[in-house]
Amino acid sequence: MAQTNKRRLRVGFAGRRLLGAGLVGGVLLLGAVTQGPQVPQALAGTVAPKVAAPAGAFPFAEYDALLKKYTDAEGRVDYAGLKAGDAAAVERLYAYLAATGPTLTPALYGSKDAALAYYLSAYNVLVWKNVIDGLPGLKQVDQGLYKFFRSPDFKVDGKEVDLNTLEKKVILKTFHDGRIHFALNCASGGCPRLPREAFTPEGLQAQLTREAKLFCSEARNVSYDAAKKTLRLSMIFKWYRDDFGGSEAAVLAFINKHRAADQQLPVGPKADALPDIKIEYLDYDWRLNDKSLKR
């Protein structure tokens, strides 16, 4: 079962302003995070790849092989097996991310889909690296006031970024598409399921739509009780409401677009109006999405 709200930081809505930094429990917190859970500033320096990257673009096929080997049909990852058997392969993928990128080597990523496939792979690969580097002590990714997302920095496309910055300041700020949220996997039980294939430039649009449909169709993320007129939604739809249209009515429209005809949610009298229902947001599940996770 997901942890209760008493054990996690409260998260505001879009439109929050820079509040400045304050000391909480001896850890410096960022007030500039405008979406998602608040996280502390990085406590470590930049971690460089341990190997040099061969020439060429990010090897989507190599990443695809690792996903098929270590990810199951439930989107859970055998992190222990990955660390024991293929930590060097993860380092190799990281080396490509550090040495290339749409800004650093634009000739290798000639389209918007190629650039986005690179950044999605960057985020998901570096989540893997952060997890296996944190084993065996890491049990859930909100440990230590979310330092998982702010420590350390990584080299990506010629920049030094942590996971939080890569997600919010690079990917979401550059590519304005709500479907992206269902392609980013932060190694938690509340995340969208990690697919057993790499996102690729050639197949990206179909993959994004497929993952959005999967997430919006799962009862753990979207559940409507018609008798009680209550809709329960993943916190992702609350934290990132602006990316789904900016209002709860727009969120419902986005969800309906990615649900089957017989799964449609109630709609309001107008496109920008809510139906006569109650909306509740589910506690987020921060447990590690390893083989022990029970959904």
For residue 217, the model assigns a pLDDT of 98
- Predicted confidence (pLDDT) at residue 22 exceeds the cutoff of 70: no
- Predicted confidence (pLDDT) at residue 9 exceeds the cutoff of 50: no
pLDDT cut 90: percent of the chain above it? 79
Whether residue 262 is contained in a domain is answered as yes
HSE-up (13 A, CA, CB side) for residue 63: 28
For residue 219, the model assigns a pLDDT of 97
Q: Do residues 60 and 74 share a domain?
A: yes
For residue 284, the model assigns a pLDDT of 97
**Comparing 295 with 24, which gets the higher pLDDT?**
295
For residue 44, the model assigns a pLDDT of 59
Whether residue 78 is contained in a domain is answered as yes
**pLDDT category of residue 24 using cuts at 50, 70 and 90:** very low
In tens, the pLDDT along 46-85 reads 999 999 999 999 999 999 999 999 999 999 999 999 999 9
**Comparing 18 with 142, which gets the higher pLDDT?**
142
Asked which of 181, 197, 215 is the last residue of a domain, the reply is 215
**pLDDT category of residue 45 using cuts at 50, 70 and 90:** confident
In tens, the pLDDT along 106-126 reads 999 999 999 999 999 999 999
For residue 35, the model assigns a pLDDT of 64
- Containing structural domain, residue 81: 45-215
Closest to 242 (Cα-Cα) out of 173, 182, 162, 294: 173
Q: Do residues 159 and 53 share a domain?
A: yes
Asked which of 159, 190, 215 is the last residue of a domain, the reply is 215
Which single residue is written with the structure tokens 């399921």?
Answer: 193
For residue 50, the model assigns a pLDDT of 94
Q: Do residues 130 and 114 share a domain?
A: yes
Residue 23 pairs with which residues in a beta bridge? 28
Which single residue is written with the structure tokens 């969120």?
Answer: 251
Q: Do residues 116 and 148 share a domain?
A: yes
Q: Do residues 191 and 259 share a domain?
A: no
Q: Do residues 191 and 71 share a domain?
A: yes
Number of domains in the chain: 2
Whether residue 242 is contained in a domain is answered as yes
- Predicted confidence (pLDDT) at residue 193 exceeds the cutoff of 70: yes
**pLDDT category of residue 291 using cuts at 50, 70 and 90:** very high
The pLDDT of 203-216, averaged and rounded, is 98
In order, the DSSP letters of 269-286 are SSTTS--S-EEEEPPP--
Q: Are 190 and 295 in contact (CB under 8 A)?
A: no
For residue 43, the model assigns a pLDDT of 47
Residue 224 pairs with which residues in a beta bridge? 231
In the chain, the amino acid numbered 63 is Y
Q: Do residues 147 and 90 share a domain?
A: yes
What's the mean pLDDT when you consider all of the chain?
87
- Predicted confidence (pLDDT) at residue 16 exceeds the cutoff of 60: no
Q: Do residues 206 and 76 share a domain?
A: yes
Cα–Cα distance, 32 to 231 (Å, whole number) = 30
Asked which of 200, 215, 230 is the last residue of a domain, the reply is 215
Q: Do residues 150 and 180 share a domain?
A: yes
Q: Do residues 140 and 269 share a domain?
A: no
